[in-house]
Every structure is written in structure tokens, then in C-alpha cells.
Amino acid sequence: MKKVSIRRATPSDAHLLSLVATLTFPLACPPSTTPENIAEFCATELSPEAFDRYLADVSYRAWLAMVGTKPCGYLLSHDGDPVEADITAVVSMRPTTEISKIYVTAEYHGSAVAHELMNAAIQDATSRGCESVWLGVNQQNARANAFYARQGFAQVGTRRFLVGDTWEDDFVREKVLSGTSTVKS
């Protein structure tokens, strides 16, 4: 396997991020997710224009995993308190950041790429004073759930996540970054 490098994405990377995002998002969807719903989600949430918006907002941060000039994975994080009541109720530590998206191409499943992306984001969150990171993951995605458990993310609740016109069931997972955190009020 070729050497993979991890780097912080910049606004000029919107097309690369979209490319890897639209290749990898379908890999994480349960079999019941229709191709139409996947296509709609990719068009609205993972397009180059969507990544332009994410990267123009200082509360978002992105990392790319690269093999030479080819992306093989990415992570998008989002700072700030959760806005959905079901997530606010279960994410216990503040300040927090969401691991909004983390995907790796099939060729790199089982490698250290996802771990390296996660480490980059967690080190960044820790250096900025975040007390926890959280994420949502489809309940049927056994591979991702096992990965997050190995990374120290505890299952703290559930949420509903809209893909196209279908609501999916996610677990909410949180990783506490320090023992001196403040519990949410």
C-alpha cells in the first residue's frame, strides 16, 4: 500500500473533498438506503458548493488523506454546541466539536487512514480547548461502530438522520478529551 499523508484541507480543496465524499458516502449507508436518496444527499451535502460553504465557515475544519495527488479519505468537523435537542441532551461535555463526516475509500478500509484522520481532528480539538468530540453513526454500520468504540467513543444516545427523503437511525457517540471538563448545564 502506498504512503498516505494527512493534511488540513483549504478552501481550494472543495472539489477534492467532494470527490472523495461522493465516492465514500454510499459505502457507509445501510442496504435500505435507496440510490436516489444517496444521490440527493451527495448533491446537497457533499457537492463542491457544499464544501465551499463548509470551508468558508470558521466553525468547520477539514482534513484530507492523500496518496500523492489522489484523495483516499477525509474528515469534516464542526465546532459548537449541538443544535438538535436529542443530541444536546446526551452530549455531556462542553465545549465540544462534532465529527460531522469521516470516510475512507474502500481500498483503505482496515488500514490506519481513518485512525490518522481521527487523531488529527482530536489533537486539533484538544489544542483548542474542546472537552469532547461527538458523532452520529448509522446503527446498522457495524464496521464504523466498532471503529468508533476502539477510538474511545462511548454510545450515549440516538438520533434520526435524514438521507434524501428517508430518516435513518443513528447512534450518538461521545469521546471525552480530558478529566477536567465541565458537564453541560
Mean pLDDT of 20-26: 97
Query: pTM above 0.75?
Result: yes
Q: pLDDT tens for residues 32-59?
A: 999 999 999 999 999 999 999 999 999 9
Alpha-carbon distance 170 to 160, whole Å?
6
173: pLDDT strictly greater than 80: yes
Mean pLDDT of 20-31: 95
4: pLDDT strictly greater than 80: yes
Q: What is the pLDDT of residue 179?
A: 54
5, 66 Cβ separation under 8 angstroms: yes
Of the pLDDT bands very low, low, confident and very high (cuts 50, 70, 90), residue 124 is very high
Of the pLDDT bands very low, low, confident and very high (cuts 50, 70, 90), residue 1 is low
131: pLDDT strictly greater than 70: yes
175, 151 Cβ separation under 8 angstroms: yes
173, 166 Cβ separation under 8 angstroms: no
User: Phi then psi for 138, rounded to 5 degrees?
Assistant: -55, 135
- The string over 6-39, giving b where at least 16 C-beta atoms fall within 10 Å of a residue's C-beta and e elsewhere, is beebeeebbebbbbbbbbbbeebbeeebeeebbe
Q: What is the mean pLDDT of the chain?
A: 93
Q: What is the pLDDT of residue 178?
A: 79
Alpha-carbon distance 74 to 72, whole Å?
7
Q: Taking every pair of C-alpha atoms in the chain, what is the biggest distance, in angstroms?
A: 47
The domain defined by 5-183 carries CATH number 2.40.40.20: no
